[in-house]
Amino acid sequence: MKKILIRCLSFVLILAVLYLGYSTIRTLNGNPLSMPKAKKIANEYLNQAYPDNKLIISDGTYNIKFGNYYFDIKGSSDTNVNELVIQEGLKTIEDTNKTKELNEKVKQYITANSNLSFEKMEVNGTVFFTSDNFKRNDNIWIGLSGEDLTNEKIANFGKSIMNWSKENGLSLNRLTIDFTNLTFNESFRLTLEDNKLDEQDIVNMIKKTE
């Protein structure tokens, strides 16, 4: 009876050690079963998006907090030229180079064409592609603060961004504008996903935030 108990305890201990080892590997490198799939998706995207470039993909790392896989992309000189982020359970791919390009374009458009008067502006967009067919989607987030930011002005501004994105061939998935009226110290959010809305519809979609 004692030998049976010792064997059972040993078996449980072995299982615990194996589980601990698996959990450690999963924490440091992501799900061992999903990492090869993530790398395969990244390679397929590179071949489709940059067919004329000789690019090398890294082994990849995993971020347990966000559940994302990160791959450094190197050029012929062995220097990092890009980073791909596989996220949402291997469903989407973020191309950080295209994200940077999008943010610069949005900043340039606002600076050159916006009639808004503001004291502070932030732009944080994301360009991602679906992993099944590499369809592009652009998310744009804009943060503004100023003394003369009214709902009507932001509605008109939001509509102009939607029109601009369409005219420039972007695939706008969502536009989010967080703005603060410094005169009344009030903050609001506008989220748009439909380019067919007019300014009055958009005004009604602006919600006050804490």
Residue 140 has pLDDT above 70, yes or no: yes
CATH number of the domain bearing residue 197: 3.30.300
On whether both 104 and 63 belong to a single domain, the answer is no
On whether both 54 and 116 belong to a single domain, the answer is no
Output the pLDDT for position 31: 65
Output the pLDDT for position 199: 67
Helix or strand or coil: residue 133? Answer: coil
On whether both 112 and 11 belong to a single domain, the answer is no
Q: How many domains does the chain have?
A: 2
Average pLDDT, whole number, for the chain? 86
On whether both 15 and 109 belong to a single domain, the answer is no
Domain termination site, one of 90, 112, 144: 90
Whose structure tokens read 């005169």? 183
pTM reported for the whole predicted model: 0.79
pLDDT per residue as tens digits for the range 30-81: 465 689 999 999 999 999 999 988 899 988 999 888 889 999 999 877 778 8
Residue 29 has pLDDT above 50, yes or no: no
On whether both 6 and 44 belong to a single domain, the answer is yes
> Residue 175 and residue 82: Cα distance in Å, rounded?
25
Long-range contacts of 112-115 (CB under 8 A, 24+ apart): 113/160, 113/164, 114/157, 114/160
On whether both 156 and 78 belong to a single domain, the answer is no
Output the pLDDT for position 193: 87
Domain termination site, one of 68, 90, 112: 90
Output the pLDDT for position 27: 46
Domain termination site, one of 90, 113, 132: 90
pLDDT per residue as tens digits for the range 182-193: 999 999 999 998
Helix (H) or strand (E) holding 8: helix 2-29
Domain containing residue 48: 2-90
